[in-house]
């Protein structure tokens, strides 16, 4: 009985033999070449056995037509033949299963330690191998259909288009149902707009079947999966219900009953979805929320006015002082006057201003009560929404700029002088008026790291490129530096650093001017402008620097200066990955120290010698540690070997002792066996 397709050899006992590991690490072509003769070389030096193993057109019929290839395939799957090397256990190959009607039969890949199987040379001639690229595409990978990305621009603008028909039905359809004159005078226009909206509704259903969705963070673009998801969705039922041909009832009730199209209002979720997308994309979300709130208020008053006019018609125009006046009065028969009067009356009800006629009938009392309840709920909604918008605006403002009121309270609590308090207030005012931010990291902290880096690069990289020191640096260095920069704003006359201070940062001038002044604070030696930098000498470990990490000059802001601050730790972390930039920065620092006469060249050479000697000692210690580790490893190996040999000897002695013991003297053999 033949064994499975792949299994452990008899010599390996399911393990990896000593000669199978080199074969496992080598490719199939290398193993075939070493065996000699199994991989036939063509004129171009290619192994034709592997060229034929990738032919997708070899079907079961072709395999039967070439018994040699079929025999080799069955030879491989049945694991027959002499294998001079131990096999490696592997999971069953897919080629061992019976192929389907549309499955291409491929020659199996050679196993580790077994000769590669080659198809007959006449099955795929080498001269016609270029024809393989002309084969038709596989049926399993059909061309992708045009799919909309739910987060893309096309889908976003389609939602904005769908706002128009939904709002049309919410406003005009109710208006026509309650004002018969409006319906009769413009009937052809309304019918045309109705069926145009129906067309957009049908197109929106089709768009749903061409809109992808996310599954495990990946956009699904398969039409079959999208269609299945849409058919199972409850939204499809609402969409279909909103386009049911209720207009057919016009044949019995006539064209003057637009309320038959009330099912078109079921497409409201599409309107809310469009509003949500618009709010997340607009540059002024607070203004959009207020506008959306006012739209809801208008729709509420509009519906109330339509209900008031319809109730007046049911009771009778002019029946009492509360309902709409009789059409016989001058001007009250015009549709525009009808709507404006009803809208004004409804506004008085919903705003609870009063100055409305007292209701006389039960229907009028119920309508007024419902209007007052709606007014209370609307007032609470408006106040809550407005307070939320104001609170959100205050929170966003506090996130962008530091709280000046808290600082002012602190200064007043400790009775700080008026001049200093005025300077602090001027600094906060400058930040707000000129939109200067000093807490960019807190604002962008919730973004992913890579996206935060891209935002920082797009905002600050043009400024960093103006710095002469970094103009010849590679892009990756600039991107790393951008993430380490901290913005800082200085007021007029404020010192950025003083001579002799401990240097922990270097600065890049983004905007403004700074002066290098003397100890008196008046004498100016130089003026630094946009794109320049300073402070690098004290944070770079330059050999022979007489000043150490102390500042060598006084830098004072002439006006308001916008700087980037880079700390010593962040700079060392970045320069550790870019040694060329570090060497260039150190060379620039040496030039400045030489001009200032604060570079001790002899000390620099001595420090270099000391560093070289320290590196040599470090290398010698590392070599000694490696040698010790090697010796310890050998000792451990010898110890394990000795322990293993000792265990074998003990086991052998135990077996010998058991053999010598055997049945005791004068003791029957049965008793010995029982023991």
Residue-wise pLDDT tens digits, 282-338: 888 888 988 999 999 999 999 999 999 999 999 999 889 999 998 888 888 899 999
Query: What angle separates helix 475-484 from helix 449-465, to the nearest 10 degrees?
Result: 110
d(CA 297, CA 386): 13
Contact (Cβ atoms closer than 8 angstroms) between residue 368 and residue 349: yes
pLDDT at 519 exceeding the cut of 60: yes
Instruction: Name the most confidently modeled range: 3-12, 132-141, 211-220, 434-443.
Output: 211-220
**pLDDT for 144:** 55
Find residue 566's DSSP bridge partners.
Answer: 506
pLDDT at 71 exceeding the cut of 70: no
What is the DSSP code (8-state) at residue 172? I
Backbone angles phi, psi at 77, to 5 degrees: -70, -25
Contact (Cβ atoms closer than 8 angstroms) between residue 119 and residue 54: no
- What are the Cα distances from residue 409, in Å, to 405, 413, 414, 422, 426? 6, 6, 9, 13, 15
**pLDDT for 285:** 85
Nearest to 651 by CA among 532, 659, 674: 659
CB-count burial class (<10 Å; 0-12, 13-18, 19+) for 659? exposed
**pLDDT for 397:** 66
Element (H, E) at 505: strand 505-511
Nearest to 185 by CA among 256, 286, 291: 256
Give pLDDT tens digits for 193-220.
999 999 999 999 999 999 998 887 788 8
Element (H, E) at 507: strand 505-511
d(CA 37, CA 33): 7
Contact (Cβ atoms closer than 8 angstroms) between residue 514 and residue 555: yes
**pLDDT for 409:** 79
> pTM of the prediction?
0.54
pLDDT at 133 exceeding the cut of 90: no
Torsion region of 31: left, alpha or beta (phi above 0 gives left; psi -120 to 50 gives alpha): alpha
Number of H helices, E strands in the chain: 25, 10
- What is the number of other CB atoms lying within 10 angstroms of the CB of residue 634? 10
d(CA 483, CA 571): 11
Q: To the nearest whole percent, how much of the chain has pLDDT over 70? A: 72
CB-count burial class (<10 Å; 0-12, 13-18, 19+) for 312? buried
State in Å, rounded, how far the first CA of the chain is from the last one. 44
- What is the number of other CB atoms lying within 10 angstroms of the CB of residue 660? 7
80: confidence class by pLDDT, cuts 50, 70, 90: very low
**pLDDT for 14:** 40
Look-up: residue for tokens 């419902």? Answer: 370
Angle ∠(217,221,226) on CA atoms, nearest 5: 95
Look at 299 and 18; give whichever has higher pLDDT. 299
Element (H, E) at 514: strand 514-517
Side by side, which strands form the sheet with 533-534?
486-490, 561-567, 505-511, 533-534
| Half-sphere exposure in the Cβ direction for 448 (13 Å, CA) | 3
For the ranges 56-65, 299-308, 559-568, which has the lowest average pLDDT?
56-65
Tokens of 233: 């969705």
Task: Calculate the CA 554 to chain-centre distance.
Answer: 46
Task: Calculate the CA 632 to chain-centre distance.
Answer: 50
**pLDDT for 662:** 60
Look at 518 and 479; give whichever has higher pLDDT. 518
Side by side, which strands form the sheet with 514-517?
495-497, 554-557, 514-517, 524-528
């Amino acid at each position: 009985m033949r064994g499975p397709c792949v299994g452990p050899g008899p010599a390996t006992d399911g393990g990896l033999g000593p000669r199978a590991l080199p074969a496992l690490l080598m490719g199939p072509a290398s193993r075939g070449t070493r065996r000699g003769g199994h991989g036939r070389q063509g004129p171009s030096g290619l192994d034709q056995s592997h060229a034929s193993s990738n032919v997708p057109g070899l079907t079961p019929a072709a395999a039967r037509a070439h018994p040699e290839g079929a025999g080799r395939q069955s030879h491989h799957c049945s694991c027959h033949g002499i294998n001079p090397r131990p096999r490696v256990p592997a999971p069953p190959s897919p080629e061992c299963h019976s192929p389907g009607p549309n499955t291409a039969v491929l020659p199996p890949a050679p196993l580790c330690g077994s000769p590669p199987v080659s198809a007959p040379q006449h099955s795929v001639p080498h001269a016609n191998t270029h024809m393989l690229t002309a084969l038709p595409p596989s049926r399993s990978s059909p061309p992708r259909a045009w799919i909309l990305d739910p987060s893309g621009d096309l889908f976003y603008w389609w939602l904005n288009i769908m706002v128009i028909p939904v709002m049309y039905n919410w406003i005009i359809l109710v208006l026509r149902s309650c004002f018969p004159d409006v319906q009769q005078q413009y009937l052809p226009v309304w019918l045309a707009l109705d069926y145009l909206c129906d067309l957009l509704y049908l197109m929106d259903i089709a768009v749903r079947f061409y809109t992808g969705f996310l599954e495990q963070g990946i956009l699904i673009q398969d039409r079959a999966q999208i269609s299945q998801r849409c058919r199972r969705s409850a939204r499809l039922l609402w969409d279909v219900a909103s386009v049911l041909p209720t207009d057919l009832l016009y044949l019995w009730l006539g064209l003057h009953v637009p309320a038959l199209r009330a099912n078109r209002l079921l497409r409201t979720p599409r309107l809310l979805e469009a509003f949500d997308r618009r709010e997340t994309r607009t540059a002024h979300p607070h203004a959009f929320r207020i506008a959306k709130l006012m739209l809801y208020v208008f729709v509420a008053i509009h519906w109330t006015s339509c209900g008031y006019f319809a109730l007046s018609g049911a009771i009778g125009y002019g029946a009492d002082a509360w309902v709409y006046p009789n059409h016989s009065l001058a001007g009250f028969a015009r549709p525009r006057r009808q709507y404006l009067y009803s809208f004004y009356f409804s506004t008085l009800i919903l705003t609870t201003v009063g100055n409305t006629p007292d209701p006389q009938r039960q229907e009028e009392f119920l309508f007024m009560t419902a209007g007052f309840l709606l007014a209370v709920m609307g007032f609470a909604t408006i106040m809550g929404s407005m307070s939320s918008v104001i609170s959100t605006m205050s929170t966003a403002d506090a996130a962008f700029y530091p709280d000046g009121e808290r600082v002012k309270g602190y200064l007043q609590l400790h009775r700080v002088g008026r001049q200093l308090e005025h300077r602090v207030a001027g600094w906060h005012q400058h930040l707000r008026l000129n939109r200067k931010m000093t807490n960019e990291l807190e604002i962008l902290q919730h973004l992913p790291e890579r996206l935060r880096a891209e935002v920082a690069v797009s905002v600050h990289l043009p400024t960093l490129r103006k710095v002469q020191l970094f103009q010849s640096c590679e892009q990756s260095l600039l991107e790393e530096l951008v993430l380490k920069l901290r913005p800082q704003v200085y007021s007029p006359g404020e010192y950025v650093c003083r001579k002799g201070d401990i240097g922990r940062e270097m600065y890049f001038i983004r905007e403004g001017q700074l002066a290098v002044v003397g100890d008196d604070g008046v004498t100016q030696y130089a003026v630094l402008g946009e794109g320049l930098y300073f402070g690098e000498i004290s944070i770079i470990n330059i050999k022979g620097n007489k000043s150490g990490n102390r500042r060598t000059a006084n830098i004072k802001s002439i006006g308001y200066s916008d700087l980037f601050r880079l700390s010593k730790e962040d700079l060392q972390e970045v320069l550790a990955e870019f040694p060329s930039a570090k060497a260039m920065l150190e060379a620039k620092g040496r030039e400045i120290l030489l001009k200032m006469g604060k570079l001790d060249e002899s000390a620099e050479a001595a420090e270099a010698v000391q560093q070289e000697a320290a590196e040599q000692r470090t290398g010698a210690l590392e070599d000694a540690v490696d040698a010790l580790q090697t010796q310890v490893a050998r000792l451990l190996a010898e110890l394990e070997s000795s322990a293993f040999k000792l265990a074998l000897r003990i086991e052998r002695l135990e077996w010998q002792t058991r053999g010598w013991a055997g049945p005791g003297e004068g003791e029957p053999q049965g008793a010995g066996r029982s023991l």
